[in-house]
Chains A and B, each alone.
Chain A
Amino acid sequence: MGLMDSFDNFWSIYSNLVLSLGTASLLALSIYLTLSCGMLAMANAAFMGIGAYASALLTMNAGAPFPVAIAGGMAAPAVVALLIGLPTLRLSGVYLAMATLAFGEVVRIVILNTEDLTGGALGLNGIPQSTQWWHVLLALLVTLGVLARLRRSKIGRAFEAIKEDETAAGLMGIDVTAHKMLAFVLGGAIAGLAGTLNAHLTFFIGPNEYGFDRGVEILTMTILGGINSLFGPVVGAVIITLLPELLRGLKDYRAVFNGLILVVIVLFLPKGLWDPAAVRRRLGLGAKEAAR
C-alpha cells in the first residue's frame, strides 16, 4: 500500500514530465526521418504547432472526440508539408534549412495575426486534458514500430542512398523527390501527433511555443542522440527534456548549458551519444579479448 501511495505521489508531481518525455521523443523521431534522408528541414516546430492548433480547434470548437482530433492534428501538418514540400524540397543543403526556417516564421506570424481563430498572442486556453499516459506510450510504440519497419524496407535503403549521395541515388533509379517528400510528410504528421498530444496535456497553447527555439531544441535532441539508429533520437529527447530539471539550480543560466552541450557534442561526438556501430565495435573487441 505504501508503495502505491508513493507512486501516486510521484505520478501527481511528475506525470507531465514523464509524458513530455514521450512527446519529445516523437518530435525527435520526426526530424530524424528527414535527417535520415539527408535533409536538414527545420519546419518540425511549425508542424507541431499546426497539429496542436488544428486538433485543439477541433476539440474546442467542433466538439470532436479525441481520436478525430488526433487524426486532424496529424493530417493538417501532413497536407501543409505536401504543399510546401513541392517547391522547397528542390532546394539543397543550407537553402532547404533556411527556407523551412522561414516557413516556420510565417506560420508563427500567421497564428499571431489570426486572432479570431487562434487567439493571437494570447493563445488558446482551456483545451480539454484528454491525453492519457497510454495514449503517449501507444503513439511512441506505433511510431517506433513503423519507423523500424521502414528502415529495413526498400524505402529505408533508398533514404540511406539519398543521404549518402543524392545524384548517385538518382542515377540508380531511385525517385529522389518522391522519397524526400515521403520523409517530409511523414515527419510532419509525427510532429503533428506530438503537438496534438502535448496540447491536450498542457491545457494551453501559444504561438511562441512553436518558434525558432523549439525548432532548435528538436534538432538538438536528435543530433545529441545520434541518427544512426532509432534509439538515438529517443535517448537525446529524454536527456534534453530531463536536463532543465537537473540543472534547476542554475536558474537563468540553464540555457547556457543547453547551448554548450550542443557545441560539445558536435565537436567531440560527431555521431551522437548512441552510435550502434561504436557499441558493436566495443562489444566485439571485448568478446575477442575474452576468447584470448
Chain B
Amino acid sequence: MLALIPLLPFAGFVVNAFVGRRLPKSVSGLVACGVMVAAFGISLTSAWSVISHHAPIDQTVFTWFTSGDLNVPLALRLDNLSSLMILVITGIGSLIHIYSTAYMHEESDSEYARYFSYLNLFAAFMLVLVLGASFPVMFVGWEGVGLCSYLLIGFWFRKKSAADAGKKAFIVNRIGDFGFILGMLLVFVTLGTLNFQEVAAAVSSYGPETGMGVLTIATLLLFLGATGKSAQIPLYVWLPDAMEGPTPVSALIHAATMVTAGVYMIGRNAELFSHAPITLAVVAAIGTATALMAGTIGLVQNDIKRVLAYSTVSQLGYMFLAMGVGAYAAGIFHLYTHAFFKALLFLGSGAVIHALAGEQDLRNMGGLKKHLPITYWTFLIGAIAIAGVPPLAGFFSKDEILWKTYSAHWPTYHFLLYVVGLLTALLTATYMFRLVFMAFHGERRHDAPPEHPEEQEPVAGDATPSQVGTLHANTSHAAHGTSHLHDAPPAMAFALIVLALGSIGAGWVGWPHALFGGNNHIEKFLHESFLPPGGSHEPGAPAEGAPAPAAAEGQAAGEAVHEADTSTELMLMGISTGLAAAGIGIAWYFWRRNRNAADDMASRFSGLHRLLLNKYYVDEIYDAAIVQPIRILSTGALWKGIDAGGIDLAVNGVGLGVRGSSSLLRRLQTGSIRAYAASLFLGVVFILGYYLWR
C-alpha cells in the first residue's frame, strides 16, 4: 500500500512521457491530476492509520543490493514526520497540478504532456525521498528531484537563460550531493548501518561530541548536501535563477517541497544531529545568516518571482535556524505552514503573470487590485500569513521558532540568532507588502518603459543588464489595454482559494500553550519521530553537564519551561507581531503613501542599494573565485597543456614516426625483379653461411 503512493505519480509519468504527445491536453492533464489526487487519498488513509494506531508503517518492497556488511532493502517507512510530509507533497502537489492545467494551457499538446510527465516524476521522487527508510533510498529521491528540478527549470529550453539556470541548479546541487554521499559513507563506516532507525538507535548510546569528532564531520557533510538542496549559504545561488521555470514549478519544487528536503533530512536524523552540537551551531548560524541576507536582497528586487525566491531562501533559513537550536518540531512546523503560504504566493504571482501575458517586473504593474480580485485577496492572505500576523499560519510557526531560539541553551549565541530572526521577520513583512503595494495598489504602470527613469520608479536608473533582459516582453504587451486583463480561470482560482484557506488555518494545529492555553498538537505529534527507536529520553540531552541543544524541546521539559515563561513568551509574541505590523507600515509608507521617499532612500544610500540590487555580488564573486579559475585551468593547463600538448602530441607523434620511417623504407621497393632476387639470394647465402661457419 505504501509503495503505491510514489508509484501512482510514477505511472502518471509513464503515461504522459510515452503516449502523452498523442493525447489531447484534457486527457494528459486529467491523468496527471488524477494520479496526484489518488496519491493524496492513499496518503490520507495511510496517515490516518499511522495516527490512529500510534504505530509507524514499515514496508520492505524488495532487497535492493547486498554487499558484505551492507544490506540495503528498498524499504519505506511512514511515521508521524513522513505522514506530514506526504500530505503536504500530495495535497499541495495536487492543487498545483490542477492550477497548472490552466496555467500551461497555451503550450502545444506534446509540450503540455512533457510538462506534466516531469511534474508527476518529480512527485514520485519526492515521495520516495520522504518515505525512504534509509539513506540510500532517500538518496534516490534526493537525486531524482534534482533531476526533475533541472528538467523543469529548463522547461523552456529554447530560451538560453532558462537552459543556463537549469544547468546552474544542477551543478550547484551536485556540490551539495557530493557532501551528502560522503556524509552517508562516513555514517556507514562509523555506525555500520544506513537505516535511519538503526542509525538513531546506534548513536543514542553515544555522548554528544564536544570537539570535531566523526559525528560532527559526518553531519556537517550531510548539512552541505542540505545547503545545496535547500538553497542555503553558500549554495543558495541557484534558487533565484530557478525562477526561469514555469511559475507552478516554482511553487511546487522551489517553494513548497523539494527545497525543504534538507530540513526534512535533518529532522529525519534528529538524533544524529543532536549528538553533534558543533554542527547544530553551524546549522543555526548559516540558517540565520541566510535568512537575513536573502531578506535584505528581497527588499530591492524588481522581478516579482525573484522577490518570492529570496523570500523562500529566507524562510528556509528560518527552518534551519529551528533545526540548529534543536527545535526540530518547530522547523518542520514552519516547513508545513510555509508550504501553504509560499505556494499560494507563487501561484498568485503566476496568476498576475498570466493575466499580464508574461510581464514579471513589478515596476510595470500596479493597480491590479480591481482587475484581479480573487488573485488580490488570496495573495494578500498569503502575504499576511508570511508576515507573521496572528492568527494566520505563519505567525504560529515563525513565533514558535523565535521562541525556541530565545529559550534555547545551545548555541551560546542564541540570543544574537533571536535578534537577527526578529530583524528578518521585520524585513519579511516589509518586502512582502512592498510586493503587494507595487503590484496591486496605486496606478497602472504597465505601459511605463523601464529604461526611462521616472519618478514613479524607485530604482529604474539602476536596472542592471540582466534585469533589463527580463523586460523583453514589455514592448509586445504594451498595447494590451486594461480590458484584456482577466482574473484567474476556475482551475487556478480553485487552487488559490484552497491554499488561502490553508494559509489561514494551517497553523492552528500548533497553537501555543501560552496563548489562551492551546496545546500545540503538532509538536507532540512530531516529537515521537525525533526519538530513537524504543528510547524515551530527550533527543540531544543524554548526559548531564554536556551542551544540550534540545533541552527546551519535548513534552516534559517543554511543559515546565512553558509554565515558567508564559509571560515571556507572550511578550515575545507581542514583539514579533509588533514588528510584523511595523514592517507592513514601513512598506505602506514607502511604496503606497509616499513613493518619493523610497527614491530618496535609494539615492541616499545608493551604495547599499546597489549592493542589494546586485545581490551582494555573490554571483560575480563565485564567478571570479571559482568559475574563472576553473575555466583558466581547464583551458590553459588541461586543454592546451595536457590534452593538446601531451596526449595529442603522443598520438600524432606515433603517426608521424610511422610516416617518416616508411618514407625511407619504401625506397627498397625498386621495382626491379633482379634486385629482389639478389636480396633474396644474398639473404639465403648469409643465413646458410651463418649456420655453416658458426
A and B assemble together: no
